[in-house]
A = this chain, B = another copy of it.
Amino acid sequence: MDGKKEAEKEERSGLPSPLDELLGYRLRRASMAMMADLLAALHPLELSAGEASFLILVGANPGCPQSDVGRTLEIKRANLTPLVARMKARGLVVDAPIDGRSRSLTLTEAGIALRDDALARIAAADRKVSQGLSIDERALLATLRSISG
């Protein structure tokens, strides 16, 4: 299977490039394309991608320590602090001291509602793409998980 004359290769100033065959490059481009859709879907909710993932994770783990959230989402402590502050300022999350240093996070009713809304939009954007996949989505997810270890 090496039909090479694709003719559609240059849809519009698309120069031929070995980059097309590189997994890392293709992964990045696909990720950026989906991210663009995601941001558009979350914009009406005034949520960034990081904020949405935060709400989803805390919503699924009520009372979890902030440190665990940071580790799971791979958000540095220094960057998580202002994110939590914004969510608290909007009344989406409440925190309580676990011990002297750690704080537990829990979504408020408003936080849960917004999380549900965001999750629905994200899932819809996901579905829009995954429906057109040429391979099984489960297999794809498993493969991607294995890449990010």
Interface residues, chain A, with chain B CB atoms under 8 Å away: 9, 12-35, 37-38, 53, 56-57, 60-61, 64, 67-69, 71-72, 74, 119, 122-123, 125-126, 129-130, 132-135, 137, 139-149
Contacts and interface: CB of A to CB of B under 8 A. Distances in A.
Given A15-B61, A16-B60, A17-B61, A33 B147 contact: yes
- Copies of this chain, count: 2
Contact of A135 (B122, B130, B143): B143
Nearest to A125: B24
A24 to B, nearest CB: 4
Max chain B CB contacts within 10 Å: which of A12, A17, A35, A126?
A17
B19 A140 contact: no
Nearest to A68: B13
A17 B56 contact: yes
A68 B143 contact: no
A1 to B, nearest CB: 9
